[in-house]
Amino acid sequence: MQGYKLTGKGQLQYFSTPPTKLKENQLKVKIEKTLLSYGDYLAYQQDSKYQIVLGRYAVGNISELADNNTLFERFQRVVVCSTYTCGQCYNCKTGKQLLCTDKKQLGIDVDGTYCDFIDVPMSSVFALPESVSFDDGLFVEQISLALNVLDKLSIQKGEHVVILSDTKLGLILGQLVTYYGAIPILVQQNKDIVAKAKDVGIFYAFDDKDDGAIESNIFAITGGRMCEKAIYVNTSDLLLSKVDRLCAHYASTCMLSCDNKLEYINAEQLVKKELTITGVSSPMGNFPTAINLLATNQIDISFLKGARVPLANLPKKLDSLDISTLETKSIIVEIN
C-alpha cells in the first residue's frame, strides 16, 4: 500500500506500507481515481489533523473480500461512500445506521483516498454499472448528499425552491429540484456558476451581488408568495441573512455544510413566519438513487470535472494550486 500522507501544514509525504489485513465486514478496494476537492485543499492548507491520508472520494475495483461477503465479487467496479457509521452507538446497534450519531469521514477522521488501496466497510461500498464511468462515479456522493436535502425538505411538484449557494453543489441541487418537478431559483456569488446554470436547465439564476433585484425577482417569479422551500449551502454571511426574506410563511429551510453562523438568521422573522429549519450533514442513504440518475443520464455533472493529475504529481499540484479553480471544478486524481 502506498500513497501520500499529510504530515504538517502544506506538507504531503509519500509512504509505503505492507498490505493491511481485512477486518470483519470489510472489503479491500484498489482505488482507480479520487478527487482533489475544495475540502481536501482546505485541510492541506490549514492547521488540521496531521499524519492522516487526505481524500474523501474513491472509485475502483474490489481486490479482496471478507470471508462473510455474499454481496460483492472480486474485480467488481465500485464507488465508496466517504462517511462510515460507527457500529457502536444506540442507533447503529438497533439497525438504524443512517441515524448514526458518531459518523466518521474518510480523509478527516480516518485515512482517506490519496493511496492505492483502502479497506472499507461493506456497507459503504456500492456497485457501479458499466454505464457509469469511473469519472462520473466520483460525483455520486455529491448527488446523494443533494438528494438527502430534497428528501429532508419533502420537495413537492410546483414548489419554488431557492438555493443559496456559493459552490458548484448548487448546480446539482438545482437539477434535482427540476427533476422532482419543482422550480429551482439559484442564488450564487460565482458568475461562472450563474452562467452555467442555464446550460443544465436551471432557468432562474441570480448573482448574489445584485441584492435588491433578487427579492423583487423572486416576488415576481412566485406571484408574490415567495419560496416554499430554501436550501442554504456553505458559509457566506450575506447569503444566510437572506433566507428568511426569500421564504414564504411556513416555509422549510435546509442547511448544508454550514458552520457556526446561524446567528445571522433573523430570529424575529423566523418566528413570525413560522419557518422550519433542518440540516443535512451526511451523504449516506441515496447512493443507489444517485447511481441510477447517472446511469440513466438524468443529471449533468460534466461541468464538475476539472484537470487530471497522477497521484505522484499531487504534492506538486497542491503546492502551486490556485484555490479559485476548485470553486467551479474538482481535480481528478488518477492513482495508477
Beta carbon nearer to Zn ion, 122 or 277: 122
Q: Site residues for Zn ion, window 38-57 (CB under 5 A)?
A: none
DSSP letters of 72-109? Answer: --TT-EEEE-SEE--S-SHHHHTT-GGG-SS-EEBTTT
Specify the length of the chain in residues.
336
CB of 56 to Zn ion, least distance (A): 19
When binding is defined by CB under 5 A, the residue of 6, 43, 78, 100 that contacts Zn ion is 100
What type of residue is 132? Answer: V
Among the residue ranges 99-107, 116-124, 166-174, 197-205, the one whose residues contact Zn ion (CB under 5 A):
99-107
Q: Indicate the SS3 state at residue 112.
A: coil
Beta carbon nearer to Zn ion, 100 or 118: 100
CB of 306 to Zn ion, least distance (A): 34
Beta carbon nearer to Zn ion, 104 or 261: 104
Are 76 and 56 contacting, i.e. CB atoms less than 8 angstroms apart? Answer: no
Beta carbon nearer to Zn ion, 82 or 85: 85
Among the residue ranges 54-62, 84-92, 179-187, 239-247, the one whose residues contact Zn ion (CB under 5 A):
84-92
CB of 325 to Zn ion, least distance (A): 36
Which residue has 429551510 as its cell numbers?
Answer: 253
The torsion angle over the Cα atoms of residues 319, 320, 325 and 329, rounded to 10 degrees, is -50
CB of 101 to Zn ion, least distance (A): 6
Query: 180-185 — which CB contacts under 8 Å span 24+ positions?
Result: 180/150, 180/155, 181/156, 181/157, 182/155, 182/156, 182/157, 182/158, 182/229, 183/158, 183/159, 183/221, 185/160, 185/161, 185/218, 185/221, 185/227
Which residue has 486524481 as its cell numbers?
Answer: 333
89 forms part of the interface with Zn ion (CB under 5 A): yes
Are 188 and 170 contacting, i.e. CB atoms less than 8 angstroms apart? Answer: yes
Among the residue ranges 30-38, 83-91, 153-161, 307-315, the one whose residues contact Zn ion (CB under 5 A):
83-91
When binding is defined by CB under 5 A, the residue of 1, 22, 66, 86 that contacts Zn ion is 86
Q: What cell was used for 6?
A: 499529510
CB of 164 to Zn ion, least distance (A): 31
CB of 307 to Zn ion, least distance (A): 37
182 forms part of the interface with Zn ion (CB under 5 A): no
Q: Indicate the SS3 state at residue 234.
A: coil
CB of 98 to Zn ion, least distance (A): 10
CB of 105 to Zn ion, least distance (A): 13
Among the residue ranges 81-89, 111-119, 193-201, 208-216, the one whose residues contact Zn ion (CB under 5 A):
81-89
When binding is defined by CB under 5 A, the residue of 12, 31, 53, 92 that contacts Zn ion is 92
Q: How many CA atoms lie within 13 A of 32 on its CB side?
A: 16
Residue 262 DSSP code: G
Size of the site for Zn ion (CB under 5 A): 5
99 forms part of the interface with Zn ion (CB under 5 A): no
CB of 88 to Zn ion, least distance (A): 6
Closest CA to 232 of 148, 149, 157, 327: 149
Pairing relation of β-strands 227-233 and 204-207? unpaired
Beta carbon nearer to Zn ion, 85 or 144: 85
**Residue ranges binding Zn ion (CB under 5 A):** 85-86, 89, 92, 100
